[in-house]
Amino acid sequence: MASLDKPPVVTSTVKWRFPAVHPEGYKYVAIAAGITLLLTIVSNVLFWPMVGVVIWVATFFRDPVRTTPQGPGLIVAPADGLITMIQRMPVPRELAGENGLGDAPLVRVSIFMSVFDVHINRTPIAGTIKQVVYISGKFVNADLDKASEENERQHFVVEGRDGQRVGFTQIAGLVARRILGFVKAGDMVAVGQRIGLIRFGSRVDVYLPDDVVPQVALGQRSIAGETVLGRVAGVPVTGVAQ
């Protein structure tokens, strides 16, 4: 007889499928396709390179289905990309204060998204959107730390049912020209729910509460809505590049 203490074994399978294109990308795919047709009239040599551009645009706006871990004390990655920083840093003034994350420094995990990554961003915890603050700015390389203070950006604070608050920031990059939000203050969100996107290269910073231990290592790649970024009272992890 199977032990009642063990979880059931899932025996069903999942098949791979092409990711859908987010509706925000439809017009860009159409524009690229239209330019391709026009250039083909001028020169057939340009046809195949432009077909590649159309495919890349569609790929950029892909919106794959993600399976989000469920469980108490989990903070899930809001973005696909490379973990470029795990360091205690001052909280941005837009996220600080009594109604935000407080005034003490918190561990910041930075995720850099290249133009080849999925750019749909997701909420790291379930709860209520307490703040959404948009700031227009410059478009310096998102891989530079000063991008957190100079670039176009959008801050979010999410409060869970237990009162825990997690802040994260969408930061436009060198070639990004628009940050789009799908939620507003007061909205209820599920963990891993889509909350916005950034067009064409960018970064997302996540500010972990003091009782949360990072579960990723520098140089690791995260998957939005799937990678466990932090865990309450967890054990620190390290990584080896190989």
Q: Which residues belong to the active site?
A: 202
- Give CA–CA dist 82/105, Å, rounded: 23
CA 235, 239, 240 angle in degrees (round to 5)? 155
Neighbours of 216 (CB within 10 A): 19
| Structural contact between residues 107 and 207, judged by C-beta atoms closer than 8 angstroms | yes
Sign of CA dihedral 211, 228, 84, 65: negative
Output phi, psi for 191, to 5 deg: -60, 135
- Give CA–CA dist 173/39, Å, rounded: 29
Sign of CA dihedral 104, 192, 205, 235: positive
